[in-house]
């Protein structure tokens, strides 16, 4: 803990002072280093705050436009790409994946549906054969191995978090249908037209704006290791084949790759805008990205269960919609059980609550040890809903 709270920059409407207070408390009580949080209500930004440091040496202040790798918070924008194609009638979520990606039918996967990819139910949570980071950076190799592999469990029956493979599976379907990888598709269809400061991967010219990720402290890391020790083979494959952490995510090779499940880079403002498309029932900033029906489909629950990958870290059942997690009875994304969101390794978060018209983006560089529900995120979400 630290009594020192760095100067908080940005603006916050008086009604949402509780969010500013929680943000300040994250620095004082929860070991925050550098971070930003943005909240929108009905598409209007009501809080946009940043503070702290972009590097562990505390030589670079966190600025208004500081970018950071948000890990799995990237999965929301990647799912959005698939939903845009479905909304246009170019992709059928109930069709077999092999209808768009014929090679995928190998090893008994001919009946795996597109919706199974979006909801982490394809049984392909991680590759069975050793897969290095360098191989992960090779799109064609990674997708070919996924197409050839046998599922870990019967597809469609249970969710098992596809930590890294999700982006290649959904992303290859996006590529087969649109001709573009998810990063280029997202830029063409969403971030470019809406002026959202978010990319999958990080262009070299933007490296100077990127915050440096910092590993969890040693005591936190040992707790994380205890959780990993309980994992089944499919979970180990999902979370550690290959293993990647703060150091790897700060390398030029990671940033240059296309990893649509894990290497999105953006500001809190950008995350709030992307999730704001769903909070706005398909519209944000006066632009319609999805029809209201397509936006609603994203939070169509696919069945609650103990997740086959994350079950060791969760004391309760969870439910994934078509690309995002439902807040559910445990309230991960606020008290509305049908609010949706996604968290990134270490703590970042995107949240969308269409019923309240609210979105939230939270990004940071000191990674925590929690699989989900990082205390910093939980404090911000709790503060937001305390004033709604």
Contacts of residue 48, defined as CB under 8 A and 6 or more positions apart, other chains included, come to 10, 11, 12, 36, 37, 38, 39, 268, 269
Burial of 7 (0-12, 13-18, 19+ CB in 10 A): exposed
DSSP for 205-273, please give it.
GGGGGBPPPBPPPHHHHHHHHHHHTT--HHHHHHHHTT---HHHHTSHHHHHS--TTTBEEE-HHHHHH
Q: Determine which one of 2, 72, 119, 132 is catalytic.
A: 72
Phi then psi for 326, rounded to 5 degrees?
A: -80, 145
Residue spans of beta strands (DSSP E) within the chain:
9-12, 34-41, 44-52, 68-69, 198-200, 264-266, 283-284, 287-288, 325-326, 340-343, 349-353, 358-364
Instruction: Say if residues 19 and 12 touch (Cβ distance below 8 Å).
Output: yes
Q: Is 2 a catalytic residue?
A: no
The number of beta carbons lying within 10 Å of the beta carbon of residue 232 is 15
Q: What residues act catalytically?
A: 72
């Amino acid at each position: 803990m630290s009594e020192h709270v760095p100067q908080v920059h940005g603006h916050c409407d008086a009604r949402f002072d509780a969010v500013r207070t929680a943000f300040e408390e994250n620095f004082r009580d929860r070991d925050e280093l550098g971070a930003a949080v943005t909240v929108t209500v009905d598409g209007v930004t009501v809080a946009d705050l940043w503070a702290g440091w972009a590097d562990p040496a505390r030589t670079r202040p966190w600025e208004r436009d500081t970018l950071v790798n948000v890990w799995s918070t990237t999965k929301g924008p990647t799912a959005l790409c698939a939903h845009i194609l479905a909304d246009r009638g170019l992709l059928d979520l109930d069709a077999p994946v092999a209808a768009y990606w014929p090679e995928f039918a190998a090893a008994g996967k001919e009946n795996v549906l597109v919706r199974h990819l979006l909801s982490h139910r394809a049984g392909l949570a991680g590759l069975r054969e050793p897969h290095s980071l360098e191989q992960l950076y090779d799109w064609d190799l990674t997708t070919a191995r996924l197409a050839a592999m046998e599922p870990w469990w019967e597809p469609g029956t249970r969710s098992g978090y596809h930590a890294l493979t999700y982006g290649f599976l959904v992303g290859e379907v996006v590529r087969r249908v649109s001709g573009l990888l998810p990063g280029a598709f997202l830029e063409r269809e969403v971030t470019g037209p809406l002026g959202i400061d978010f990319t999958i991967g990080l262009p070299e010219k933007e490296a100077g704006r990127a915050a440096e990720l910092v590993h969890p402290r040693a005591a936190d890391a040992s707790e994380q290791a205890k959780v990993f020790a309980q994992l089944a083979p499919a979970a180990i494959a999902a979370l550690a084949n290959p293993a990647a952490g703060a150091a790897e995510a700060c390398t030029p090779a990671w940033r240059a790759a296309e990893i649509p499940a894990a290497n999105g880079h953006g500001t809190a403002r950008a995350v709030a805008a992307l999730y704001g498309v769903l909070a706005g029932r398909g519209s944000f900033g006066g632009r319609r990205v999805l029809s209201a029906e397509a936006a609603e489909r994203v939070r169509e629950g696919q069945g609650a269960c103990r997740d086959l990958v994350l079950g060791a870290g969760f004391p309760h059942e969870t439910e994934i919609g078509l690309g995002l997690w439902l807040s559910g009875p445990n309230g991960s994304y606020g008290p509305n059980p049908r609010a949706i969101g996604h968290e990134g390794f270490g703590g970042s978060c995107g949240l969308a609550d269409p019923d309240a018209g609210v979105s939230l983006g939270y990004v940071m560089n000191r990674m925590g040890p929690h699989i989900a529900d990082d205390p910093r995120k939980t404090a911000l979400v709790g503060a937001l809903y305390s004033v709604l």
